[in-house]
Chain A
């Protein structure tokens, strides 16, 4: 039986007593904002005409919030906000460091581009089925995953974005979409369940779910606890989420089935959430285990790159080619995580941010190509160059970027990764990176040659005008990749300090457990 204790407990040690500053609210604002807009959109389900306006304005607001958050984090270092006045490790913490803020900002930019593109892509029935509420809830899940500092909450945010992605994927209910969603749904659910298994073991070993607390305690438990098993489970779960080689088959089976804007957003956001989680867990929480697993991960990365790009070469459908290119890009990021060090981790982060912009842009291009050519197979589509020269030029820019050719954004992360791989003597990994880049050039060259340059037999060449709602986001993303490629210094400096903050998380830990606070 519990006996009443005579000594009184000092609750102030476990409670937040100081007032929360306005800047701290920025930490949870991206999530709260997306949920609010999503809820408003659900309430306005009878007036779907308002949905696009509210959603695009909301996404623009999200970009602004994330930009402010990134500025705040860059100036002040990692920021923590806890829920319900309980201090960590008891309270649920949202902790934002540079890595999380960077990913969240680029995700918001991609979502805004998708929101604008959707004005011309999502028809009335799509709106009635709730495209915009799902989009806002997806962004809530994605932002939450990037900003949370609690590993169980990471699982919850994964589920939030997963259920929204199911909704977006079946939107339209074509047989093709249902087929794709079945494969996507079951395999992703298994992946998140594996993530939950790993988190259950983690809780059993550590007795805590706060990431900073785990990072602090990992050193002491390394000798006694099966941390390698835990880490391997996380690698499998997040690798499945990110579509790494042996567990990647759900992605090319499903990403080409939904509306174009949906596949564009998925290609930009969802696999990168897996990569982000992998970086967070492997680099910050279990750096020693990452070293031990590095060969396995490098092998998986190299195979993912090569298998992805070979799959892309074998396809004829524009969007399915892109699906395999997404997989191939994931391989480069895995290689970066496996190599480690500032070059490897920085390269992986840079590649992920670049891939978010470029893959989204390429899916937009695939949608416009299908609109201009009447089909999505490069066996039948032809003469796109004649139909709209500006669009062809933008696609070519994105093709260069995805192949890692200068002067576009894909070049710098590739250089970083190859150099980092050569620095540790993994010449085969560097060779795989270069080979994958070379094959990507062939893939995009084949695509451009057949769909854009090949003359349409017996058709008069006439220019087709494209609505600004589809051209503007494509232009913006292409120019962004060009801008990053031409002037990478500011982004590179931010990424380097983000990678340094992951490798040496003392600032992160200090933000969660401030000096003079609890313990």
Chain B
């Protein structure tokens, strides 16, 4: 089971890296989204995959009886999902705004902050 999940995570990472190497912001954005999901799956697998019962303490008992699924990775992933989703939303709006204002989504042509030709300073004093 773990091996299949590891393979899946690997595929996700491959797709994410491939998309993030693109020049076009919208593809990079999709890559970021895939990357976030790859990491979530990785944490999920890292927390051990089991077919055990949920960690709910039976009525009248004080502690878990037998082996149970680990709840912590789910809490971690939940945090990571919320964060990566909010970042994805922000970056999506930012990419849209960049496309509107700079009228390109090609990163090669985005040279506003780092212009190609700047005036030289005086060479002598």
Tell me the A residues contacting B by CB distance below 8 Å. 1-5, 7-9, 152, 156, 159, 162-163, 166, 170, 173, 175-183, 185-186, 189-190, 193, 196-197, 200-201, 203-204, 252-254, 256-257, 316-317, 377-380, 446, 449-450, 453-454
Which of B20, B47, B76, B95 has the most chain A CB atoms inside 10 A of its CB? B76
Given the interface contacts A2-B58, A449-B125, does A185 sit within 8 Å of B91 by beta carbon?
A: yes
| A200 to B80 Cα, complex, angstroms | 11
A4 near B32: Cβ-Cβ < 8 Å: no
B98 near A182: Cβ-Cβ < 8 Å: yes
| A185 to B84 Cα, complex, angstroms | 12
The verdict on B15 contacting chain A, using a C-beta distance below 8 Å, is no
The verdict on B23 contacting chain A, using a C-beta distance below 8 Å, is no
| A186 to B29 Cα, complex, angstroms | 8
| A453 to B66 Cα, complex, angstroms | 78
Partner of A9, one of B56, B62, B79, B119: B62
Tell me the B residues contacting A by CB distance below 8 Å. 20, 25, 28-29, 32, 35-36, 39, 42-43, 45-48, 53, 56-66, 68, 72-73, 76, 79-80, 83-84, 86-87, 90-91, 94-95, 97-98, 101-102, 107, 110-114, 118-122, 125
A450 near B98: Cβ-Cβ < 8 Å: no
Contacts of A380 in B (CB 8 A): 119
B76 near A152: Cβ-Cβ < 8 Å: yes
A179 near B61: Cβ-Cβ < 8 Å: no
Knowing that A5-B61, A446-B121 touch, tell me 16 more A-B residue pairs with CB under 8 angstroms.
Answer: A4-B60, A162-B87, A175-B102, A176-B112, A179-B110, A179-B111, A179-B113, A180-B113, A186-B20, A189-B91, A201-B42, A201-B46, A316-B118, A377-B119, A380-B119, A453-B125
| A252 to B56 Cα, complex, angstroms | 52
| A193 to B86 Cα, complex, angstroms | 14
Partner of A186, one of B28, B45, B118: B28
A381 to chain B, nearest CB (A): 10
Partner of A176, one of B76, B107, B113, B121: B113
B47 near A178: Cβ-Cβ < 8 Å: no
B72 to chain A, nearest CB (A): 8
Contacts of A378 in B (CB 8 A): 121
Partner of B46, one of A173, A178, A186, A200: A200
